[in-house]
Amino acid sequence: MEPKPLRRQKKTNVAMKKDRVRKPIDKWNGESIPLGASRDVKLTVSESYSSMSVRIPIHIRRAKQDGPVVFVTAALHGDEINGTGAVRQLVQDPDFELIRGSMIFVPVLNLLAFDRHSRYLPDRRDLNRSFPGSESGSLAGRMARTIFEEIVSRCDYGIDLHTASVRRTNYPNVRGDLSDPEVRRLAVAFGSEIIMNGVGPPGAFRREACLAGCPSIIMEGGEVWKVEPGIVESAVRGIKNVLHNLEMVDVEPVSPDYQVIVEKSKWIRAEHGGFLQFHVKPGDIIAEGQPLATNTTLLGRGRSMLHAPFDSVVIGMTTLPATSPGEPVCNLGKLPKGTKPSKLRRMRREEDGLEGQVVEELSTNLLIVEPGKPMKKG
């Protein structure tokens, strides 16, 4: 299914782009990286409490022919390591070959948080709200400035890999400011079923990269602290799809069974405290009024049931069945007007497609039951 035309936003990254100061891709730490060469380099982004340099590992790969420069980054939040698995797989793949252009692979962008298995830096700041950063600011601001100057300033495009936050899981989806034609190009080419339209919060890496003239998207998928096979495969496939679209690799793109653009999403929240019985899985396509979860007492007595307020796809879910009033349960992406859930369900190749595989993988961490029936493993 082709994505529908987008409404222009009042304020877009396209209108706010600034003139760029570009750094060359072939010069790193005084070392030359010619066409056709690959190098592992280190980028010093900060210092530890023991005054040791904090250096993030980076892999530079250049084709024999010049072309676009693309960054692929992961673990901007240090506990979100599904993307780390995807970057490592691409770097180690002997069959992955560029025919033109250059790549900057960063498996762990936020090393200080990664070392602590944490989303945040030691100063409790969110690096993904600190861009483009400041040379004289906080720890987060200084790191963000270095990353911006040394990575974003060398690139034409960017892909940043994320997962859900702690105690949640996300079905794979791509997010970007689709009012920018180049961002839209990347988002559609990536090949996820679900594309979420939005500029991103102030200080976010991909938003500020777009403002600086480097069209960028993010992929969200899976849970923290894990490298999940289906999520890694989704990310690797999507990255290769984008590189094919940019004529940087000679591989056949893989398209999803359908593709929709989500303009609105909503977290459905618990009305009472208790223990949840889930009725849907991440990635499920559901109709308005469909049961999402039943809130029960610890003895299994039903208290209330949550229902979908509109036709939607389950973008994310809590993985913690114990809940209290107001806590998020399901993140629903509203389907475009005229898009029928039953049609999308028929279009998805549940048995042999990657998307169906991912739905089943993500549901193994949840107990899924039919409404009103005894619990059984999902």
One domain for residues 109 and 239: yes
One domain for residues 239 and 269: no
Q: Which pLDDT belongs to residue 347?
A: 87
One domain for residues 105 and 166: yes
Q: Which pLDDT belongs to residue 374?
A: 52
Q: What is the residue range of 336's domain?
A: 264-364
Q: Which pLDDT belongs to residue 365?
A: 86
One domain for residues 242 and 268: no
**Which residue, 179, 213, 246, sits at the end of a domain?**
246
- Determine what percent of the chain falls in helix, strand and coil, rounding each to the nearest 5: 25, 30, 50
SS3 105: strand
Instruction: Give Cα separations from 147 to 151, 164, 269, 308, 359 (angstroms).
Output: 6, 23, 36, 41, 34
One domain for residues 208 and 161: yes
SS3 81: coil
Are the CB atoms for 45 and 147 separated by under 8 Å?
yes
Question: What tokens does 233 get?
Answer: 């495969």
Q: Which pLDDT belongs to residue 14?
A: 44
C-alpha 208/C-alpha 120 separation (Å) is 19
Q: Is residue 174 included in any domain, yes or no?
A: yes
**Which residue, 212, 246, 280, sits at the end of a domain?**
246
One domain for residues 220 and 147: yes
C-alpha 83/C-alpha 70 separation (Å) is 16
C-alpha 96/C-alpha 316 separation (Å) is 31
One domain for residues 221 and 189: yes
One domain for residues 317 and 212: no
C-alpha 136/C-alpha 143 separation (Å) is 10
Residues of the chain with pLDDT under 70: 1-19, 349-352, 373-378
**Distance between terminal CA atoms of the chain?**
29
Task: For residue 162, give the nearest of 173, 152, 153 by alpha carbon.
Answer: 173
**Which residue, 216, 246, 276, sits at the end of a domain?**
246
Q: Is residue 96 included in any domain, yes or no?
A: yes
For the domain that residue 307 is a member of, what is the CATH number?
A: 2.40.50.100
Q: Is residue 373 included in any domain, yes or no?
A: no
One domain for residues 111 and 161: yes
One domain for residues 170 and 291: no
Q: Which pLDDT belongs to residue 293?
A: 97
One domain for residues 226 and 320: no
Domain total of the chain: 2
Q: Is residue 181 included in any domain, yes or no?
A: yes
One domain for residues 330 and 222: no
Q: Is residue 54 included in any domain, yes or no?
A: yes
Residues 6+ apart with CB under 8 A from 316: 164, 168, 169, 170, 171, 220, 282, 330, 331
Strand partners of residue 131: none
Q: What is the pTM of this model?
A: 0.93
